[in-house]
Amino acid sequence: MSVHMQRELERLKKLFLGVSTLVEENLRDSMKSALERDRDLALRVIEKDHEIDRTEVSVEEECLKLLALYQPVANDLRYIIAILKINHDLERVGDLAVNIAERALILCENTPVSRDFGLHEMSARVQRMLARSLDSMLNYDVQLAKDVWLSDDGIDEANRSTVTTIEDEIARDQKDLRALLALIGISRTLERVADHATNISKDVIYMIAGEIVRHRSGYFRGKTDSPPERSPGAPA
């Protein structure tokens, strides 16, 4: 690898770390604004999304520049493609954080609901999934990517349980209907964030092992479609 390309890859990594940090912070703050009924924080989350969008575009442009100028192969090529794809997932998570913040504004306008219906715990689990999926990429850790992928089923179940419980509450008493519907929306949005974290973990597996596993549900479950694990290698 040329010195120039190495420098460009380092620049790309810094840009990627920047957008990752922004997205994680905005997701955390969006849930805090919802759980604590913090209107000002919700508005800051919405405003900060413009910065996330700008950084996401910068990452994409840097990836395309590297592909055009240096025509990378093997590990370097997979690394750049993985960042391109993960960058898109992060931008979508940023949009979902705005979605949560908008529902937080609804909650601020209504009488506080006495229960959080498990959303605090679900939020912590989803944020941990996202953080671990990004850590698996930065550390070239297949096992961590596997753990993130396998944890998605638990978030799906938590979402179903939360939505069912809130729907039962609505059936009993509709006086807090608007707030309860906002909480259902937040639960479903968290489930979508977990899906994006899972997508990231699958792209990490592609980056390390060169295997496209998006549609291979048996990859880590001992089924016959599981490919042999390859030795991880970071861009040289």
Among candidate residues 89, 82, 84, 88, the one with its CA nearest the CA of residue 208: 82
Predicted pLDDT of residue 111: 80
3-state secondary structure of 226: coil
**pTM for the model:** 0.88
- What are the boundaries of each domain within the chain? 3-209
CATH number of 3-209: 1.20.58.220
3-state secondary structure of 180: helix
pLDDT tens-digit profile of 53-104?
999 999 999 999 999 999 888 889 999 999 999 999 999 999 999 999 999 9
pLDDT tens-digit profile of 96-139?
999 999 999 999 998 878 788 999 999 999 999 999 999 999 99
pLDDT band at 4 (very low <50, low <70, confident <90, very high): confident
Predicted pLDDT of residue 233: 41
Predicted pLDDT of residue 220: 54
DSSP state of 225: T
Average confidence score pLDDT of the chain: 89
Strands annotated E in the chain: none
- pLDDT surpassing 90 at residue 52: yes
Q: Do residues 148 and 197 make contact, with C-beta atoms less than 8 angstroms apart? A: yes
Predicted pLDDT of residue 222: 44
Indicate the residue type of 143. Q
Q: Does residue 211 or residue 164 have the better pLDDT?
A: 164
Among candidate residues 89, 113, 107, 110, the one with its CA nearest the CA of residue 186: 107
DSSP state of 213: -
Mean pLDDT in residue range 15-23: 96
Predicted pLDDT of residue 73: 84
Rounded to whole angstroms, how far apart are CA atoms 81 and 201?
14
Q: Do residues 144 and 132 make contact, with C-beta atoms less than 8 angstroms apart? A: yes
Please report, for residues 18, 36, 159, 179, 205, the alpha-carbon distance to residue 101 in angstroms, rounded to integers and kept in the order given: 21, 11, 18, 13, 32
